Structure 1
Amino acid sequence: MRILVVLSFYAPHWTGLTKYAQRAAEGWAALGDQVTVVCSQHDRTSARDKHLNGVRVVRCPTLLPISRAVVAPGFVPTIARLIPLHDVVIIHTPLPEACLVGWLCQRKHVPYTCVHHGDVVLPNGLRNRLYTSLMHQSALHAFAHADALCTHSTDYADHSQWLAPVRWRVRVITPPVTIVPSQSAGAREVYGIPADAFVVGIGGRMVHEKGFDRVFVHLEALKRLFPTLLLLHVGALQMPYEPSPDTPYGAFRSFGLLRDDAAMAAFFACCDVVLLPSRSDCFPSFAVEALRCGVPILVHDTPGLRSIVWQADAGRVIDSTDWHALQHALATLPSRPDPVQMARVFDPLASIATLRAVLQQTVAARTPAPATQAVVTRHLANEVDMAYRRRAQMLVHYLELNDAQVVLDCGCGQGVYVQLLRSLTQATVVGVDCDRQRLSEALPQPVLMADMAALPFAPATFDR
């Protein structure tokens, strides 16, 4: 397949979303697919068009940042130029331009899949509300017309405000995580951490959404209970779009942003436990990486985040805002997970293959068999309604008719679909409608006036 991947940022920009997107793109390239990524040029020193681990990466220059996004004038025109050269498009959301990319895919008759990595959650304020609303509306439009829609857990899909209107369409695919435990001993010695320290790892951007302030407020009290406690952080300390919470002194240390799996594995080798007090999180790679490295996790009771504990049957869900619950959880740590078992639970190759299968299905839905395509093309030759053209082709694909089947078209109107389906196979196709006028205009074919709430047919009469 020729796959076009669209997202705001790509490696070496390092977030959970970009990690997932990069692993999937490189996995598809390794399977023989032609993969192109279009993103913003967040770092002006990055090449604008180059191949990275088998993936072509096209970066569009930026003018200025706006909250968590950037203004890149060439972004949408570049995507418009590349869409016709590909079989399928995958849009990683949140993305400000998601609705425009989806619209372009529709105009150019190329299927697209949205992978949603989490609703945008920002502190209160007029600017943040406007930005969040823009992102939300853009995503809703893209979701509504996508050929497929995915997210990372059923728990998050059930609680996401953005996914609520299209929940019935959402498929759940665990994202790929590739980290392996560090094989080198003495990680604490390398980083100057005392051997007897009780190290609690935390990770992510130092922003309100991650909930680190919930732990900081109790740090002095925790220090009295656990005298050797060290809160060890990994991730960006400053974000341009949001003020960071005040970091505590003494029992806190940050490794900053680590950009590769080996460095992250060394970080986890220093930890006795990993704590995630997030207010909002879809499926943080930090938690999965900890489990794959054999480190127990304590997570706040947050939709999406807690599903990692349920899926792995490892770690513990707690109320990190409750001082007594936090104290008890740190005093009675969960057992260490088995890295081999966690690698089976969170298998990156299975994740990559599953999402690839979804893309293949969307391409197949737009590509009927040659003989069928010829009949459909003749039937639609004079049809000017592009939405109807698309519906008819998808209907033919999903029905998978054979000559022995009996099909009922409820609300057949003038019998247009009845005529189309009968021209494709020898299947028996019967149409019913309650509108006498519309039925009188139907071409000669099996149509019947009937109330769809009281059909005059025996049970199991129809196959479709």
Structure 2
Amino acid sequence: MRIPDRFDVTVMLDYYAPYVSGLTEAARITAEGLVARGWKIAVVCARHDRSLPAHEVINGVHVFRAPVLAHVSRGFIAPHLPVLASRLAARSDLLHMHLPNPEAAFVAALRRKTPLVVTYHIDTFLPDSPVNRFGMRVVDASCAAAIRRADLVITNSEDQARGSRIWPVIRRRALRPIASPCVDRNGGSPTMREGDGLHIGFMGRITVDKGIEYLIRAFRGIDDPAARLLIAGDYTTVAGGSNIAQLREEAGNDPRIRFTGLLRGERVRDFYASIDVFALPSISESFGIVQVEAMMAGKPSVTTNLPGSRYPVEATGFGRLVEPRDPVALREALLEMAALPPEDRQVGQEAATKLFGGETFLDAHEEAYRAILNGARP
């Protein structure tokens, strides 16, 4: 496909498809949805895998990748990324950056007169150490610098924005909460069930910030030999590395605990159809697309009481909140939600679908883009 002379929007972020995370999926689904509505979209990102091409078209989205010189924890050194982003921004009517991103300040400064939209997904989280604390301060400063130049800041919810470390900067900009896109995962087959016992599910990147060890401890306190814990998610190509070895040690020789690896396509639908209750025990989270997709499939969510991640449960009432790192409270909440009667599940499913289903996220992005391009306050 020929590369257009100009784009309507250039989207900038670190990782893009085929990498899978909540942030990348939110950007990908939004970009592809806008293309389907007639927008010309470019994505500029890092070439995190050298086997990926420098340019390709994925479902109508032009993806440009900058070379990576070295990987550092969850990030990388890619000095050409801000340059490539600025060049594409100069050929676009609007630049949309997804943060956190250590290059954000440079891209915002180099964009010249192109209007800037920033989606701030979450504060950077790294395991505690002096080096990582310094790294998080650097990324926070870069994100804050970009947000100061933004015409509009998007977050998943106002709760997430107010809970951010850089809320004092965000609050001074035009702010629009737009929940991340959530896919209807109904229609699967319960192929991952093993009997009629309680089935608890987790899906997401297998990393330290997801708090999965607390879920394993909670589950191992359930005596029922027919119960099952399905832990789905990538642990082989995770940026910054996975804590899968620690989690396997936590699971020990409990045959009821199953690590499925990364699920795609129909397997995701089958996963939701196979569980009774969803768990998101994160110690750092901003929304949790997976928990909303579980709710939309009729499965209540038990998640941690963190800014942003608590919003879907609070908004729908379809689940329970527990404090982070508390396996006892987590177990009690999971058992309570597993016993939820069908009529209550139906009400919760309908509430989640009404709030987060469909294409309202695309409508909101189009409305915000057009307001900026027309010179109005978003």
| Alpha carbons of structure 1 residues 140 and 323: separation in structure 2 relative to 1, 3 Å | closer
> What's the CA shift for 1:89?
0.2
| Shift in CA distance, 242/55, structure 1 to aligned 2, threshold 3 Å | closer
Q: Distance in 2 between matches of 1:349 and 1:360?
A: 17
2:76 alignment partner, SS class: strand
Partner of 1:454: none
Q: Percent same amino acid at aligned positions?
A: 29
- Deviation of 1:205 after TM superposition, in Å, equals 2.2
Q: 2:345 pairs with 336, 340, 345, which one?
A: 336
For 1:10-31, what per-residue CA distance to the aligned partner results, in whole angstroms no more than 9, with x for missing partners? 1111100011001111111111
Distance (Å, rounded) in 2 between the aligned partners of 1:136 and 1:129: 11
**Contact 1:63/1:72 (8 A) holds in 2:** yes
1:291 and 2:295 are equivalent in the alignment: yes
Residue aligning to 1:54: 60
The yes-or-no answer on 1:346 pairing with 2:346 is no
Instruction: Give the letter for the 1:234 counterpart.
Output: A
1:246 CA drift (Å): 3.0
**Residue 306 of structure 1: aligned partner:** 310
* TM-score in terms of structure 2 length: 0.88
CA gap of 1:327–1:347, structure 2 versus 1, over 3 A, is closer
- Alpha-carbon offset, residue 341 of structure 1: 4.6
Q: Distance in 2 between matches of 1:93 and 1:255?
A: 29
1:196 has 2:201 as partner: no
Kindly state the Cα deviation for residue 93 of structure 1 after the two structures are TM-superposed.
0.2
Alignment partner of 2:312: what SS?
helix
Distance 1:17 1:337, change over 3 A: farther
Listed as ranges, the gaps of 5+ residues in structure 2 are 1-6
**Which string of whole-angstrom CA distances, capped at 9 and with x for unpartnered residues, describes residues 380-436 of structure 1?**
xxxxxxxxxxxxxxxxx66xxxxxxxxxxxxxxxxxxxxxxxxxxxxxxxxxxxxxx
* Deviation (angstroms), 1:332: 2.1
* Structure 1 residue 41, shift from structure 2 partner: 1.3
Match of residue 234 from structure 1: 232
State how 1:234-313 maps to structure 2 within 5 Å.
234-237=232-235, 239=238, 241-242=240-241, 244=243, 245-247=246-248, 248-249=251-252, 250=254, 251-260=256-265, 262-313=266-317
Backbone CA RMSD of aligned residues? 2.0
Q: How far, CA to CA, are the matches of 2:303 and 2:152 in structure 1? A: 30
Equivalent residues of 1:298, 1:315 under 8 A apart: yes
Answer yes or no: is the 8 Å Cα contact 2:190–2:270 preserved in 1: no
- The CA deviation at 1:227 is 2.7
1:221 aligns with 2:230: no
1:279 CA displacement: 1.2
2-structure distance, mates of 1:38, 1:320: 35
In 1, the alpha carbon distance for the partners of 2:353 and 2:220 equals 36
Partner amino acid, structure 2, of 1:209: D
Structure 2 CA distance for aligned equivalents of residues 299 and 64 of structure 1 = 35
Distance in 1, matches of 2:56 and 2:33, equals: 18
1:154 counterpart residue number:
158
d(CA) in 2 for partners of 1:168, 1:113: 14
1:113 paired with 2:114, answer no
Q: How far 1:272 moved relative to its partner?
A: 1.0
> Shift in Å at residue 39 of structure 1?
0.7
Distance 2:328 2:121 in 1: 32
Query: Quick check: which has more Rg, 1 or 2?
Result: 1
Deviation at 1:123, TM superposition (A): 1.4
Q: 1:397-416 maps to which residues of 2 (within 5 A)?
A: none
Deviation track 1:174-222 (CA, whole Å, cap 9, x = no partner) reads: 1111233124x3423xxxx422232111122222221112223344322
Q: Give the drift of 1:258.
A: 2.0
Alpha-carbon distance in structure 2 between the residues aligned to 1:93 and 1:361? 22
> Relative to structure 2, which stretch is displaced further, 144-153 or 159-168?
159-168
Q: Where does residue 209 of structure 1 map in the other structure? A: 209
The answer to whether the 8 Å contact 1:280/1:303 transfers is no
CA contact (8 A) 2:279 2:334 kept: no
Q: 2:51 is matched with which residue?
A: 45
* 240-249 vs 300-309, which moves further: 240-249
CA distance, structure 2, for counterparts of residue 212 and residue 256 of structure 1: 14
**Does the alignment pair 1:64 with 2:70?**
yes
Q: Distance in 1 between matches of 2:353 and 2:335?
A: 27
Task: Say yes or no: does 1:32 pair with 2:17.
Answer: no
For 2:146 and 2:230, how far apart are their aligned partners in 1? 39
> 1:200, 1:273 within 8 Å by CA — same for their partners in 2?
yes
* Offset, 1:146: 0.6
Provide closer, same or farther for how the CA distance between residues 102 and 198 of structure 1 changes in structure 2, counting only shifts above 3 A.
same
- Shift in Å at residue 167 of structure 1? 2.0
| Count of residue correspondences | 357
Gaps of at least 5 residues in structure 1 are 366-396, 399-464
Q: Distance in 1 between matches of 2:122 and 2:307?
A: 11
- Listed as ranges, the matches of 1:153-192 within 5 Å are 153-169=157-173, 170-183=175-188, 185-188=189-192
Name which of 122, 141, 145 aligns with 2:126: 122
Q: Check whether the contact 1:26–1:55 (CA below 8 A) recurs between aligned residues.
A: yes
Q: Give a deviation string over 1:92-150, Cα, whole Å, max 9, x none.
A: 00111100111112xx2110110011001111112211221111110000011111111
> For each residue in 1:292-345, what CA deviation from the matched residue of structure 2 results, as whole angstroms up to 9, or x when unmatched?
111111112111111011222311223364455334323322442454553322
Instruction: Determine if contact 2:288/2:309 at 8 Å carries over to the other structure.
Output: yes
Paired residue type of 1:301: N
- Secondary structure in 1 matching 2:113: coil
Give the 4+ runs in structure 1 shifted more than 6 A: none
**301-310 or 342-351, which moves further after superposition?**
342-351
Q: 1:92 and 1:172 mapped to 2: Cα distance?
A: 14
TM-fit CA distance, 1:36:
0.4
AA paired with 1:354?
A
Amino acid at match of 2:292: V
Q: In 1, distance between residues paired with 2:257 and 2:277?
A: 15
Deviations 1:53-96 (A, max 9, x none): 11111112212211111222321221222111100000000111
